[in-house]
Amino acid sequence: KDTSQSSTSIANDQFLDGLLVSTFDEASCLSRYQSHLYRKASPYKPSAYLLSKLRNYEHLHSSCGPRTKSYNKTMRKGSKFSKDDAGTKCKYLVWTPSNGLGNRMLTLASAFLYAILTDRVLLVKFGTDMFGLFCEPFPDSSWLLPRNFPYWKDQKHIETYETMLGNSKKKISKELLPQFLILNLQHTHDGHNNFFHCDQSQGRLQKVPVLILWSDQYFVPSLFMIPSFRQELSKMFPEKDTVFHHLGRYLFHPSNAAWEQISRIYEAHLAKANERIGLQIRVYNTHRSPHQTIINEIIACTLQHKLLPELDVQKTATSLLKKRTSKAVLVASLFSEYGEKLRTIYKTSTAMTGELIKVYQPSHEGRQKSNNDTHNIKAWTEIYLLSLCDALITSPKSTFGYVAHGLGGLKPWILQRAYGETIPNPPCQRVMSMEPCFHYPPKYDCKANNTVDFTSLFHHMKHCEDVSSGLRLV
Ligand code: GDP
């Protein structure tokens, strides 16, 4: 092979076909330069237009980011803005954490896309529980919201965009705009009718210098509903089911501390196997869904889809095979039972195929502790390791699983929710898209002023296999 060619292809792999720029200091973020050693090159290529949008965004971020003149001016409480400033000044979108790490990463990616579409600078309010997870994603600047942000602690007195929309008859254009506004896209169970996906709302939001986002949802499909964004989005993402795959790989690079864990576990337990199978087992209610039922369900799923071999209970054949191939099974769960039971099963019996099956579960935290930094590093490590697998089985409605398969560019088999002792039939189902599911999408048709099922308006939106009222881009 021509060496110049292969070094170009290594550079392509390393920088994810142009998603990443090469100007970062390697030592500050090893994963950025080493992830291609563990993850196969993605078959999905980012569009040239997406790359140009990312480069423009990087430029905007470094000229408006923390500690620039514009930043200092805009973030000063009581700075005056009029609607004429809207086009010329730096504008910001402040992301705030809500719920577990999976939810947080999905809203971060959604926020980033919204920031790109609206020429805002994305800043993240990371407390100590998130500080050590990721590298800085944007060159020559920081995405961390400085601690002296005037509303770091208390956001009680900021107007929300619901009240602003409610006051729409007050002729907002003549008034001074609010300088800070809370954009509340947190999920609700009351029909979830916010009007964020309506063009009129975007017209108003556009003029507010600082939006503070409260959300726990993957709201990207909402952005595809907004007429003024639609054309940009189709140019950026000719393949609509790659939004999270590209933006997630652009944004989320494990910090050196996380990378140390990831590479240690990968080298010790996954690297040598011929194939890696990831199992993500999220049980919300252990009384309704007993561990043994879920184990049986997983085994049924792996057999049905030939992800793991059948066991040779009569011990007839194959152990004489000279060259045994191996499969590594990575188990991510809060509960130790899963790794233990599966390890015992594959240790005590041989596979019909003669393959060696090795089960490894990195942690068992017992319960969710999302405000704890070492807990979150473990969660991130496992999400990342799952994303390095060749095939995934994940749990229904889990954003933890969504992030893993989205980063990996994988279409997982999602387990059906099990109740009692019955193994659901079918035990699992392959999802049609690697996009995360938007669990609580809007149902309001802004033009027609009535309720609508958006899958009937957009052929690239489908209801999710695991959440029937949710929406997934396909
Ligand atoms: P979701 O609740 O499944 O949608 O996922 P989230 O990530 O939003 O919240 C669940 C949180 O519980 C995770 O972020 C972790 O903190 C913890 N958690 C759940 N499952 C696992 C697991 O398999 N491994 C680890 N280390 N943590 C988990």
Residue 154, pLDDT score: 86
Contact 399 CB / ligand 1 (< 6 Å): yes
Contact 363 CB / ligand 1 (< 6 Å): yes
Q: Taking 80 as the threshold, does the pLDDT of residue 192 lie above it?
A: no
Residue 162, pLDDT score: 77
Contact 362 CB / ligand 1 (< 6 Å): no
Q: What is the distance in A from the centroid of ligand 1 to the CA of 101?
A: 7
Q: Taking 70 as the threshold, does the pLDDT of residue 316 lie above it?
A: no
Q: Taking 60 as the threshold, does the pLDDT of residue 170 lie above it?
A: no
Contact 261 CB / ligand 1 (< 6 Å): no
Q: What is the distance in A from the centroid of ligand 1 to the CA of 465?
A: 20
Residue 467, pLDDT score: 97
Computed over every residue of the chain, the mean pLDDT equals 92
Q: Taking 90 as the threshold, does the pLDDT of residue 291 lie above it?
A: yes
Q: What is the DSSP letter of 124?
A: E
Strand order in the sheet with 91-95: 120-124, 91-95, 210-214, 180-184
Q: Taking 90 as the threshold, does the pLDDT of residue 85 lie above it?
A: no
Residue 324, pLDDT score: 82
- Asked if 45 and 17 touch (Cβ cutoff 8 Å), the reply is yes
With left for phi above 0 and alpha for psi between -120 and 50, is residue 177 left, alpha or beta? Answer: beta
What's the rounded mean pLDDT across residues 158-175?
A: 64
Residue 88, pLDDT score: 61
- Classify 216 as helix, strand or coil: coil
Contact 70 CB / ligand 1 (< 6 Å): no
Rg (CA), the chain: 24
Contact 382 CB / ligand 1 (< 6 Å): yes
ipTM above 0.95, yes or no: yes
Q: Band of the pLDDT at 157, cuts 50, 70, 90?
A: confident
Contact 332 CB / ligand 1 (< 6 Å): yes
What's the rounded mean pLDDT across residues 247-263?
A: 98
Q: CA 270 → CA 28, 303, 345, 354, 383, distances in Å?
A: 25, 21, 19, 19, 14
pLDDT in tens, 425-472: 999 999 999 999 999 999 999 999 899 999 999 999 999 999 999 999
Q: Band of the pLDDT at 360, cuts 50, 70, 90?
A: very high
Of all atoms in ligand 1, which is nearest to the CA of residue 378? 26
pLDDT in tens, 138-151: 999 999 999 999 99
Q: Taking 80 as the threshold, does the pLDDT of residue 82 lie above it?
A: no
Extract the tokens encoding 225. 């509903």
311-312 and 350-351 beta bridge pairing: antiparallel
Q: Taking 70 as the threshold, does the pLDDT of residue 342 lie above it?
A: yes
Residue 321, pLDDT score: 57
Residue 362, pLDDT score: 98
What's the rounded mean pLDDT across residues 117-123?
A: 98
Which ranges of 266-320 does DSSP label H, i.e. alpha helix? 291-304
What is the residue whose two structure tokens read 């503070």?
212
DSSP string, 425-470: SSSEEE-S-SSPPBSS---EETTTTEE--GGGT-TTEEE-SS-TT-
Extract the tokens encoding 295. 């184990």
Q: Taking 80 as the threshold, does the pLDDT of residue 187 lie above it?
A: yes
> Which of 71-75, 122-126, 165-169, 220-224 is least confident?
165-169
What's the rounded mean pLDDT across residues 192-212?
A: 89
Q: Taking 50 as the threshold, does the pLDDT of residue 174 lie above it?
A: no
Q: Band of the pLDDT at 4, cuts 50, 70, 90?
A: low
Q: What is the distance in A from the centroid of ligand 1 to the CA of 434?
A: 19
The span from the first CA to the last CA of the chain, in angstroms, equals: 38
Cα separation, 162 vs 166, in Å, equals 6
Instruction: Give nearest CA residue, ligand 1 atom 11.
Output: 100
Residue 212, pLDDT score: 97
- Counting residues of the chain whose pLDDT is more than 90, the rounded percentage is 80
Residue 188, pLDDT score: 79
Of all atoms in ligand 1, which is nearest to the CA of residue 332? 23
Cα separation, 383 vs 261, in Å, equals 12
Contact 101 CB / ligand 1 (< 6 Å): yes
- Classify 272 as helix, strand or coil: coil
Of all atoms in ligand 1, which is nearest to the CA of residue 362? 26
Q: Band of the pLDDT at 415, cuts 50, 70, 90?
A: very high
Q: What is the distance in A from the centroid of ligand 1 to the CA of 368?
A: 6
Of all atoms in ligand 1, which is nearest to the CA of residue 397? 4
What is the residue whose two structure tokens read 């003549």?
174
| Residue ranges covered by each domain of the chain | 11-251, 256-473
Q: What is the distance in A from the centroid of ligand 1 to the CA of 332?
A: 9
Residue, of 45 and 84, whose pLDDT is higher: 45
Residue 9, pLDDT score: 78
Of all atoms in ligand 1, which is nearest to the CA of residue 379? 26
Nearest to 298 by CA among 413, 419, 397: 413
- What backbone phi and psi angles, to 5 degrees, belong to 55? -65, -40
Nearest to 282 by CA among 101, 131, 145: 101
Residue 176, pLDDT score: 63
CATH of 256-473, one of 3.40.50.300, 1.10.1740.110, 3.40.50.11350, 3.40.50.150: 3.40.50.11350
Q: Name the residue of 134, 335, 368, 417 to mutate for ligand 1: max ligand atoms within 8 A of Cβ.
A: 368
Instruction: Give nearest CA residue, ligand 1 atom 22.
Output: 333
Cα separation, 203 vs 206, in Å, equals 5
- What backbone phi and psi angles, to 5 degrees, belong to 24? -75, 155
* Cis peptide bond upstream of 309, omega within 30: no
Residue 428, pLDDT score: 98
Q: Taking 80 as the threshold, does the pLDDT of residue 189 lie above it?
A: no
Q: Band of the pLDDT at 317, cuts 50, 70, 90?
A: low
Cα separation, 162 vs 201, in Å, equals 10
> Which of 163-172, 184-193, 214-223 is least confident?
163-172
What's the rounded mean pLDDT across residues 309-334?
A: 81
Q: What is the distance in A from the centroid of ligand 1 to the CA of 384?
A: 12
Q: What is the distance in A from the centroid of ligand 1 to the CA of 399?
A: 8
Q: How many CB atoms lie within 10 A of CB 458?
A: 16
Residue, of 352 and 54, whose pLDDT is higher: 54
Q: Taking 60 as the threshold, does the pLDDT of residue 310 lie above it?
A: yes
